[in-house]
Structure 1
Amino acid sequence: MRSKRQKAEKFLTFLDEKYSDAECSLVHKNPFELLIATVLSAQCTDERVNKVTRVLFDKYPDAENMAESDPEEIMEIVRPTGFYKNKASNILRISKTIVEDYEGKLPLDMGKLTKLPGVGRKTANVVLGNFGKAEGIVVDTHVKRVTSRIGIVSSGDPEKIEKELMSLIPHDRWNKFSHQVIAFGRDICRSRTPKCNECGMNKACAYFLNKGGSR
């Protein structure tokens, strides 16, 4: 039986073979845009977020413009992403904080990012992984599901999953690992209808083996 570390090493090799070009699917030009897009992505597809941010950033291209925007207009623009009232409120509060406390420039620091309204560790990891120095691994629904199914993590808690993964995945792979796992989760290891028989990881996957080796 493979250890978690052995499974993780096999998984990394698999991801490099199948998803070597995986990258962030949220369209953005700078850290601020990525932060806002990530806030909007909660309970929403990246595809829909990208349609919304195209309009949002065209009208409000930076924190200064966003901070001075009409709350009602922000709500109307982000409405398609769901939970639009709360998201619009957080976007405005984030923008005002960046302008008032950081001279309009988003701080690339975990402590400061997570103090922004509505910004948790996962969102901060997305920004830092792409624009700063990765301080952790993004654990979204795909990463949580996939790593649990394969059997390289034991916990169901995102923060504990992150710590487990950080001990198994080389630091220089943290950001790319998340992108690759998300791509794999959308492509093969889907939530409701995983394509287990098409998966190159099935012989090492606890989920597949516990199902009798076939789906």
Structure 2
Amino acid sequence: MRRSKGLFLLPLAALAAASSPLHAEPAVPAPIPALDAQPTRSLETAIFAGGCYWGVEGVFSHVKGVKLVVAGFAGGPRDRKVDYDMVSGGDTGFAESVRITYDPKVVSYGTLLRIFFSVITDPTTLNYQRPDSGTQYRSALFPLNPEQDRAARAYLAQLQKAGLWRDPIVTKVEAFTGFQDAGADHQDFMARYPYHPYIQRWDMPKLKAFRAMYPTLYRAVPAA
């Protein structure tokens, strides 16, 4: 589903009726990671892809310890420059992603993984997240160092054994080939347009679930 400014003109009821049902999320929070990434610097960076970056950015921006979340693109060829229209075609290899800058003394990489799989992404749907389909909406982890790589792979294996989902987990750990920022009109989208029909239907429930599930990690004012 391509999200354009035209969605501002759609009544919420009409958008909801045209959308597929919400995916089945875990009834309980995802497990605490058995293996976490050890910090390598005072501020760390993590990159996740989990469907529409509006909601992924929107939830992570409310996590205590997160300093900045940028919407953009990852997973494609290192030397190719792309923009939203190009990635929306589904044939660039890039996925809508977010780059998170966080303080590891406040929130760890493993905790970000736990939040990601608890309320943000469905790890069992291949190239599909809620109403959006295509490789650009795949669920993927892009570790930036060996510590993150070990933690990400260990957590995916841990989730497989946990049995929170009926279907197998298809989220992949992918090689990091660079990150490109999306345009300014896609940054801080949930904070700027909280009543946008797409945000109301698909992303506000994620934020509410995060606040209810992890109240000690939630902050009301999002990262700028």
Larger radius of gyration between Structure 1 and Structure 2:
1
TM-score (norm 2): 0.25
TM-score (norm 1): 0.25
Greater relative contact order (Cα 8 A, min sep 6): structure 1 or 2? 2
